[in-house]
Amino acid sequence: MSVIPSEPCYWLKNACVPLSMLQVQDQSIGQSRTPEGLCLVDIQVAEGKVAQIVRANSVSIADMAVVDVQGGQVWAGFVDVHTHLDKGHIWQRTPNLEGTFDQALERVKQDSLQYWQAEDVYRRMEFGLRCSYAHGTQAIRTHIDSFGEQARISFGVFKQLQQEWANRLVLQAVSLVSLDYYLTPEGVKLADLVADVGGVLGGVAYMNPDIEAQLDQVFRLAQERDLALDFHTDETDNPESICLRKVAEAALRFQFGRQIVCGHCCSLAVQSPEDVAETLALVKQARIGVVSLPLSNLYLQDRKLGRTPRWRGVTLIQELLESGIGVTLASDNCRDPFFGFGDHDLLEVFNQGVRVAHLDGVYGESPAMVTKTAADLMGLGNVGRIGVGLAANLVWFKGRSYSELLSRPQCDRVVIRDGVAIDTTLPDYRELDGLSS
């Protein structure tokens, strides 16, 4: 692939850009899109921003450097709205050989009690950030295990990394505890800590007799501190798990004004059509965004030793899209007991999401799930889009059609940040050697 010029102004010619992430005034650009929703355009980059977007070969270019993309795809930088950087890269020292959800919980708990001091958490989180950045991600939200003293340690590490990466990545942090924790004085202190770091209040919702009281307390704490909310809900194949609906009902009770995000929502896929319709109507009314985590849900859901899984584990992505609900795909866990693989690459996540949920029929909107829609759920305005006046944070892939893009790993992608191609060398796993000593 051609090298991005060092000049401050240049053109990317003959670039295929998904219409779903284009922000343009010229309506003819969208009208000429391919059946897959790709628009062939020329993009002018000047002083780190997008200066022009025109139909390919529609204007003459003189006295300026030109890179011919040759029909390859150019995307906005990725936005990863649901990760667990604090858990990442502990698989080698604490594997989950059974592969079950319950065992993952137990193994992470053991690992945290033994190892999760500031240096350990910093090295693993920073490793994950470098992987994400090299793959083309520009914004990340991470959930942080927040029981007791661990909240102070891990949020302290997060704040340090947030400062160190301020010019490269937008970082957001979400507290992660079971919702009953917020009914305790320690839970109230945690809400104050989240507010102090400008974070998002969150937790894992489980069906139990006190679920409404727990949600009311969380919403009350968030409203008092003007915090957005982010929940883990219904990460199970039990159709009786309706935490997503409970969150929506609480949001409407409180007339909650900030963004709410719910991740996983797996049990929707095993509920009756009538129950699904009622839940989706409430979710849409409450303006809740949903995050599907295809890698970890494929890995954990319906796992029983010696038995092939019977379902895919993901939520009803197509039905959520059809209902007009904001849906995204995200990385979730990476090389830890909840998912033993992964490399913080949202192209891999998108690829798996397309295959698992049959999103190839809705390519037009699906690329926004790892760019524009994810940015909107994080409250990041114009991030995740390609538009005149916006930062030239782009990812250039050799793949022209989606079949080409998703059939090879695109390891030769070019990542452009503020108009400049960055070094996409991934960190070496050997850097993590010795963490268990």
User: Nearest 5°: phi and psi at 181?
Assistant: -60, -30
Q: Look at residue 2 in the predicted model and tell me its pLDDT.
A: 66
Q: Look at residue 381 in the predicted model and tell me its pLDDT.
A: 87
Q: Is the pLDDT of residue 437 over 60?
A: no
Residue with the bigger pLDDT between 297 and 34: it is 297
| Strand intervals (E) in 161-214 | 170-176, 201-205
Rounded Cα distance, 6 and 397, in Å: 19
Q: Which two tokens stand for residue 85?
A: 């950087």
**Is 297 in contact with 265 (CB distance < 8 Å)?**
no
Q: Look at residue 26 in the predicted model and tell me its pLDDT.
A: 78
Q: Is the pLDDT of residue 376 over 60?
A: yes
SS (H, E, C) 239-265: CCCCHHHHHHHHHHHHCCCCCEEEEEC
Q: Give all domains of the chain, ordered by start, each with its CATH number.
A: 9-76+385-421 (2.30.40.10), 78-377 (3.20.20.140)
Q: Considering the chain, what is the average pLDDT of its residues?
A: 95
Rounded Cα distance, 144 and 147, in Å: 9
Q: Which two tokens stand for residue 45?
A: 């980059």
Q: Which residues are catalytic?
A: 235
Q: Look at residue 408 in the predicted model and tell me its pLDDT.
A: 94
What CA–CA distances, in Å, run from 386 to 20, 188, 265? 10, 40, 30
> Could you count the other beta carbons within 10 Å of the beta carbon of residue 356?
18
pLDDT (mean) for 6-28: 90
Q: Look at residue 1 in the predicted model and tell me its pLDDT.
A: 67
Rounded Cα distance, 383 and 371, in Å: 8
Residue (of 204, 201, 198, 147) closest to 174 by Cα position: 201
**Is 150 in contact with 209 (CB distance < 8 Å)?**
no
> Could you count the other beta carbons within 10 Å of the beta carbon of residue 175?
27
Rounded Cα distance, 145 and 151, in Å: 7
pLDDT (mean) for 26-35: 81
Q: Is the pLDDT of residue 73 over 70?
A: yes
Q: Is the pLDDT of residue 165 over 90?
A: yes
Rounded Cα distance, 124 and 136, in Å: 19
**What residues does 260 pair with on adjacent strands?**
229, 288
Q: Return the minimum-mean-pLDDT range out of 35-39, 197-201, 277-281.
A: 35-39
Q: Which two tokens stand for residue 75?
A: 């995307």
Q: Look at residue 3 in the predicted model and tell me its pLDDT.
A: 83
Residue (of 283, 345, 368) closest to 319 by Cα position: 283
Q: Is the pLDDT of residue 268 over 70?
A: yes
Alpha helix locations (H) across 286-337? 294-300, 317-322
Residue (of 338, 289, 347) closest to 313 by Cα position: 338
- Long-range contacts, stretch 160-167, CB < 8 angstroms, 24+ apart: 160/122, 161/122, 161/125, 161/126, 161/129, 165/129, 165/133
pLDDT tens-digit series, residues 218-266: 999 999 999 999 999 999 999 999 999 999 999 999 999 999 999 999 9
Residue 345, SS3 per DSSP: coil
